[in-house]
Structure 1
Amino acid sequence: MREASLRASVAAASVLLLAGCSISVPRPATTAAPSSSPKATASAAAPAIPRGRAPAETFDVDTRQLRLSRGADRPLPVTIWYPDADAGRFPVILFSHGLTGSPDDYAGLLEHWASAGFVVAAPTYPHTSRGAERIEPLDVINQPADATYVLTEVLKLDRRAGDTLRGRLATDRLAAAGHSAGGITTIGLFSVARDERLDAGVVLAGSALGVGLGFVGPPAPLLFVHGQRDSVVSYASGKAAYDSVPWPKAFLTLPNGDHGESLRRGSQAFDMVAESTLDFWRWSLYGDPDAKRRLPKDAQSAGLGRLDDNLG
């Protein structure tokens, strides 16, 4: 897709995105390169889900900052949440924040994932984050390339002498997730800017705005989570993206959900969304069959959601 058409389609919804793409979440008291020419079509073959078990224990979580930059005008500071464990290799999830948001807004959710045995790397994007010198909604089209760059740099830590994460990253078990504009970024990583290293993805209140519905490359299971009362990114647009996915997929509908309340720790649906996404990761990245069996029950907890399950 040409950049001009990408910019035109993103511009059509930039006002809505600016109105409320981010969430406001209080911080807790404690706290191989993709192909440059994506395949024309996606493979509908079954994804290569490993057979295994996710860790049963709950880990303490540490955080660290990584200073990255993809060129002089694209600083990409990265917050990393990781299990405080002496041994083991953990799958890596690249998380993208919403417009005018920041990684810290999602700390409750990302810490929850990390405590279960995942390393979560969340860049702060240069022109769509809160506090940026200028907010440019159209810059979302550049973020899939940013995300791929960040993932590449984070994976290098697994081989860096003396680094805290040396030998701790499962570099063959990688995923992407994001909220709102970060959900668009995530879809882009499976479509127009396909990163073929990615094994799975979670799209939170996202759509294919600006990145298209042309999912390409090797099959990767995707989980969509969307509120039916979302007034920023419409439920219908999220469902349209889901319907176009040719791979194993699931759609978690929040009948009373808005654009981001369910991602705020302490909200009514937070625990349900946190556990549903976590069991999806346990299955898609660890190959844990019990986690997959729990997912429908997670999604219907307390009658707060319903799951369209086509994971196979």
Structure 2
Amino acid sequence: MPVVSVKPIVLTAPHRGRHLHVKVSAPADGAELPIILFSHGYGSSLDGYGPLTDHWAANGFVVIQPTHLDSRTVALPPDDPRTPEIWRLRVDDLRLVLDRLDELEAAVPGLAGRIDRRRIAAAGHSFGGQTAGNLLGLRVLPPAGAGEDLSDPRVSAGVLLATAGKGGADLSPYAAEHFPFMNPSFATMTTPALVVAGDKDDSPLSVRGPEWLADPYALSPGEKSLLTLFGAEHSLGGIAGYEVRETTDEDPERVALIQRVTLAYLRHALGMDDAGWAAVRADLAGAGNRLGRLESKHG
């Protein structure tokens, strides 16, 4: 399906000291289009994650990508007073996008009147997974946060890709010192979500190994699914961009699987179609698939 993309769309945002730059990609045709709000990983920008965002837009979703203040394109100095609050400002960015959907819709030629505001999902990779998770009910505990509820009822599903697990004693000494916001609680993350984790994603931020990235699934209540990718590292085969240097485990077949599973999940979770989700669950149940395993829970 042909896609129209517009960037940057500039949303005034005096509270963050720099206006928010946003990219919107949407199918050229179709009505009642659902929305995916995507939060990039640390250092990336609205230009990242084409292998996922392009695929979602070409298959009927309006994909909205803000550039957060930690982006390399912003080049915020480490001693900037906003740095300790970047985790929270990221959440504010996503809320601002939801508050200003009318402006974003008007900025894309031919999109007016075609968005379905009843169907909104939040997705993110790495740091962006925690950011999206806040809208699903994840809470950041002290020292960086106060455990407050930052969830948003406008968001009814999520996709969390290579997202950090528990903090505290599970963090490496470096992470505990430099990333105090990495202390999430998943106990109130009740919004349905798909968690995607690589079984070779041995993060230097945790002392626990790859199973740490499954915490958003294991430690959250409600309807959740976990896609475990065999052999995948933090870039999950190359989702961060086409030919990006960060990809250490390039695998087009793995990326194609993530495209298929996330699309099917989002269509299922947003009440659009269950057939695709039933098919991927059948394909990935148990240990029979060489690329990955899919499991689900309801409580």
TM-score normalised by L of structure 1:
0.72
Aligned to 1:200: 157
Distance 1:74-1:297 versus aligned 2 partners, 3 A rule: farther
Task: Find the aligned partners of 2:108 and 2:126 in 1 and give their Cα distance.
Answer: 36
Distance 1:165-1:257 versus aligned 2 partners, 3 A rule: same
1:240 maps onto 2:215 in alignment: yes
Task: Find the aligned partners of 1:190 and 1:135 in 2 and give their Cα distance.
Answer: 30
CA drift at 1:241: 1.9
1:99 maps onto 2:42 in alignment: yes
Residues 239-287 of structure 1, C-alpha deviations (whole Å, 9 max, x = no match): 2221222121100011200000421556341100110001001111243
User: For the Cα contact (< 8 Å) 1:200–1:221, is it kept in 2?
Assistant: yes
95, 107, 124: which is aligned to 1:148? Answer: 95
CA drift at 1:157: 4.5
Aligned to 2:76: 134
User: For the Cα contact (< 8 Å) 1:226–1:238, is it kept in 2?
Assistant: yes
User: For the Cα contact (< 8 Å) 2:51–2:255, is it kept in 1?
Assistant: no
Q: Which amino acid aligns with 2:23?
A: T
How many equivalent residue pairs? Answer: 249
Aligned to 1:64: 6
Aligned to 1:9: none
1:77 maps onto 2:21 in alignment: yes
Task: Find the aligned partners of 1:211 and 1:303 in 2 and give their Cα distance.
Answer: 32
Long gaps (5+) in structure 1: 1-58
251, 254, 257: which is aligned to 2:226? Answer: 251
Task: Find the aligned partners of 2:222 and 2:73 in 1 and give their Cα distance.
Answer: 37
Task: Find the aligned partners of 1:224 and 1:131 in 2 and give their Cα distance.
Answer: 28
Task: Find the aligned partners of 1:101 and 1:166 in 2 and give their Cα distance.
Answer: 29
Task: Find the aligned partners of 1:249 and 1:236 in 2 and give their Cα distance.
Answer: 16
Identical aligned residues as a percent? 31
1:271 maps onto 2:256 in alignment: yes
User: For the Cα contact (< 8 Å) 1:187–1:211, is it kept in 2?
Assistant: no
Structure (1 or 2) with the greater strand fraction: 2
Aligned to 2:125: 179
Tell me the C-alpha RMSD between the 2 structures.
2.5
Task: Find the aligned partners of 1:182 and 1:225 in 2 and give their Cα distance.
Answer: 13
SS of the counterpart of 1:225? strand
Structure 1 window deviating more from structure 2 (63-72 vs 297-306): it is: 297-306
Aligned to 1:310: 297
1:295 maps onto 2:267 in alignment: no
User: For the Cα contact (< 8 Å) 2:283–2:289, is it kept in 1?
Assistant: no
1:90 maps onto 2:33 in alignment: yes
User: For the Cα contact (< 8 Å) 2:163–2:213, is it kept in 1?
Assistant: yes
Aligned to 2:177: none
Task: Find the aligned partners of 1:143 and 1:179 in 2 and give their Cα distance.
Answer: 13
Task: Find the aligned partners of 2:21 and 2:225 in 1 and give their Cα distance.
Answer: 32
187, 194, 212: which is aligned to 2:185? Answer: 212
Task: Find the aligned partners of 1:73 and 1:273 in 2 and give their Cα distance.
Answer: 36
Which gives a bigger RCO, structure 1 or 2 (Cα 8 Å, sep 6+)?
Answer: 1
Long gaps (5+) in structure 2: 140-149, 166-181, 243-250
TM-score normalised by L of structure 2:
0.75
User: For the Cα contact (< 8 Å) 2:261–2:277, is it kept in 1?
Assistant: no
